[in-house]
């Protein structure tokens, strides 16, 4: 079957995956609406120091809070995506109740974990799983691997706390008139936005002999982050799981023309 379509007779792994896809789709849709809904009001206070200097302090005022349900929805989606890989392994294992899909940062870890997690798994499937490991797939940047991130999210949600969903400044730009120079007092891109008021950029704008408040204009945009990553990272993780799961189920690499579950 196609892993991009609902089907009641699909494998346990594919049903888990499709359920996770549906949950991610719902979460992404709600996040997109939130990001388009002016959930934060950005304001800048100006203080004239002298004729040639103005202090500018910007802040974000929360109008709409992050829904508490998002952390639950994200956790459920992550669980289903991670479980789909485990179910694919279990379906091919013989007499091994501990079968799992290992996600390892190093070859040493993979060899250690696969000894117990992949016992009874055919060599052909083990080779597919090994090729998909973060240390094989990330070009050395293991921290940037999507399967590794999925593992970290899944472990945190199961053992420690719900996935953290928060807002942060996505883009900060200060427009200035000709001749204006900026002296930054406080500047932190991607600053988290909390409830109430969050202080953002603080700076001094200078132009001799005179400067006006209309000569400086800070601009901000915000985005929603899941455990510090933008929503497109979650979408890319779904696609990575899709590639790996498809190969585990069929034994063949995903065709280049195959449609992805999230457009």
Enter the pTM of the model: 0.87
Average pLDDT over residues 102-111: 95
Q: Which residues, other chains included, contact 110 with Cβ-Cβ below 8 Å and sequence gap of 6+? A: 102, 104, 130, 133, 135
Give the Cα separation of 99 and 90 in Å (integer).
5
CA 225 to chain centre: 6
User: Domain extents for the chain?
Assistant: 12-250
Q: What percent of the chain has a predicted confidence (pLDDT) above 70?
A: 93
Residue 209 preceded by cis peptide, ω within 30: yes
Token digits for 93? 């294992």
* Per-residue pLDDT tens over the stretch 12-43: 999 999 999 999 999 999 999 999 999 999 99
Give the Cα separation of 236 and 233 in Å (integer).
5
* Per-residue pLDDT tens over the stretch 145-178: 999 999 999 987 665 666 778 899 988 889 999 9
Q: Is residue 195 scored above 50 in pLDDT?
A: yes
- Owner of token pair 């427009």: 175
Average pLDDT over residues 56-75: 94
Q: What is the pLDDT of residue 3?
A: 62
């Amino acid at each position: 079957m196609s892993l991009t379509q609902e089907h009641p007779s699909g494998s346990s792994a594919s049903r888990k995956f499709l359920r996770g896809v549906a949950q991610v789709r719902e979460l992404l849709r709600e996040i997109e609406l939130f990001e388009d809904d002016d959930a934060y009001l950005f304001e800048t206070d100006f203080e004239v120091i002298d004729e040639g200097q103005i202090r500018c302090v910007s802040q974000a005022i929360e109008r709409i809070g992050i829904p508490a349900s998002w952390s639950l929805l994200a956790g459920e989606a992550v669980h289903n995506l991670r479980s789909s890989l485990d179910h694919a392994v279990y379906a091919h294992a013989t007499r091994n109740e501990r079968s799992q899909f290992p996600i390892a940062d190093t070859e040493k870890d993979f060899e250690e974990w696969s000894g117990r997690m992949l016992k009874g798994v055919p060599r052909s499937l083990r080779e597919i799983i090994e090729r998909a490991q973060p240390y094989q797939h990330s070009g050395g940047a293991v921290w940037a691997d999507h399967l590794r991130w999925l593992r970290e999210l899944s472990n945190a949600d199961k053992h420690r706390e719900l996935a953290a969903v928060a807002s942060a400044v996505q883009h900060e730009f200060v427009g200035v008139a000709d001749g204006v120079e900026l002296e930054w007092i406080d500047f932190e891109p991607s600053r988290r936005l909390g409830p109430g008021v969050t202080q953002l950029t603080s700076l001094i704008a200078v132009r001799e002999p005179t400067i006006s408040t209309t000569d400086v204009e800070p601009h901000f945009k915000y985005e929603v982050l899941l455990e510090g990553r933008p929503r497109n990272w979650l979408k890319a993780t779904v696609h990575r799981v899709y590639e790996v799961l498809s190969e585990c189920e069929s034994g063949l690499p995903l065709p280049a023309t195959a449609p992805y579950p999230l457009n």
